[in-house]
Structure 1
Amino acid sequence: MRFDAADAHWRETPRPGASSAQKDWLTRGGSLTAHLARLGRVTVRVTRETVATPWADEHAALACAPRTPVWVREVVLAVDGTPFVAAHSIAPLAASKGVWQAMRRLRTRPLAELLYSDPEVTRSALVSRRVIAGHSLFALASRALERAQIAPHAFAARRSVFERHGEPLMVTECMLPALWRHLDAPGARRARGGEAA
């Protein structure tokens, strides 16, 4: 694979200060939606689908110019009605009308249905980082929080690039505080075992 989501901020090894639960969920392979389903009933709420340009830390991972038009899909994954993950997926606009055109027709179905049912799809290594105010992902995650909930100082996020017939689709997932609270709760069912929103 020629696409790589890593850079100076997005690294394959979670930061040293991350909790064991964060390290686990930031590095799990496979479908994040499937992992969340082990915690309860998962629903997908689409918050934005549009043509835009990549964020400053995205265009290099897609091997495209900074102002290249991309198709953007943003969703919130909730478990039993509580938002657990805010996800941001992009593909070059031309690819969203070709190789990745199915992502435009998902509606409230998870992107994982496309990514893990096609043997021709490959995936880069997962990378992660802490996201603080000033990054577009921080704003996205803050909007996904439950009403009256104050945004934390930082969110834990991960991303990887999927490739099909030479065309990239990058998925960035930001874990929300409710996920960590659920995993820390006494007697919580902990999911064992792999992404995509």
Structure 2
Amino acid sequence: MLELRRLTKSYANGRRVLTDLSYTLNAGEYVAIMGDSGVGKSTLLNLIAGLDAPDAGDILIDGTPLSALDDDATTTLRREKFGFIFQAFHVLPHLTLIQNVALPLLLNGDTTQRAQDMLIAVGLDGRGSDFPRQLSGGELQRVAIARALVHRPRLLLADEPTGNLDPDTAHEVLMLLRRELKDNGASGIIVTHSPAAAETADRVLLLTRDGLQPK
């Protein structure tokens, strides 16, 4: 499903964070990536998502290199096949919660009831007409999670998805993530500092200066 071929990436200040990193994520596989702060975990997610470009190497989705796609094709790929959960939420303030969650469906021409179902699944039943300014940080995170899963993506990329949630809610959300991935035969990568979150994945990997290694 996803293949990383000898990825190398440096920050603007010249500090290299990834060097000749290679890895293959199979269809239906769910992995957790752990590692020290600053080692490049979020950078790696941004590269896989096509939001940034590697200095060298390539990323293949279903055998197609991202580098071979133009901007429009990359945008279409992200919209149709990817789901994202980022630390900054990226919830749109001028849209209601139901509109935020339904956005991937609308962009893909789907107008099903699933947006409401996902709000219920993350514990926000009856809040669809609220706006983001009315929510706590943990509630915003749950909206972001519902939006990432609503269109049943082939690949979920999650950066500290439970960082703003209390332990009980975090556990419920992690079980939801895993269940959605398994029910839909999708693949997932979760970046986390939480051992409890990592344990919900099929496999835990450690990102170091030497690449990705089994933890």
| Structure number with bigger Rg | 2
TM over 0.5: no
**Which of the pair is proportionally richer in strand?**
1
